[in-house]
Amino acid sequence: MAKPLINLRVYYVLPCCLLLLNLVNAFVGYQAERIDDPWLRTLAVMGLVLGGSSLVAFVVSPALEGFVRWLQRVSRSQAGGAGEAWFLIGLGALVFWMYYRLVNHGIESLIPLHWRLG
């Protein structure tokens, strides 16, 4: 039973979290353009990226993994693997949609109007 959970974390949950971290890094880089001083901008980006990666590694990824484990237990007892499958499909679709928006329309398409530069 432990092997499927490890495979789920290594091959699905962690990569999704890393993709979401990359989206956050794009947002950080975009917002850092507000800082005029190049030294301060670099320090701000480095600090935010380090903080974001720590947040993903120690909070988001374990939380998603715990949620998927809970879904496995609940769906196994109630409806087979359907709940877990729908969650994983939804997570993948959400990450794909966000990357589609980022690649084809830029980071501005993913952030609220009042957070945009200019």
Q: List pLDDT tens digits, range 27-83.
A: 888 888 889 999 999 999 999 888 888 888 888 888 887 887 777 677 666 656 676
Does any domain span residue 69? yes
Q: At residue 107, does pLDDT exceed 80? A: yes
CB contact burial 68-86 (16+ within 10 A = b; e otherwise): beebbeebeeeeeeebbee
Does any domain span residue 78? yes
Cα dihedral value 38, 40, 41, 44, nearest 10: 160
Does any domain span residue 116? no
Does any domain span residue 117? no
Please report the pLDDT score of residue 104 as a whole number. 94
Identify any residues that bridge with 79 across adjacent strands, giving them in sequence order. Answer: 81
Does any domain span residue 118? no
Q: At residue 11, does pLDDT exceed 90? A: no
Please report the pLDDT score of residue 47 as a whole number. 92
Does any domain span residue 9? yes
Residue 94 belongs to domain spanning: 2-111
**Structural domains in the chain (count):** 1
pTM above 0.85, yes or no: no
Closest CA to 10 of 71, 85, 61: 61
Confirm if 41 and 28 have CB atoms less than 8 A apart.
no
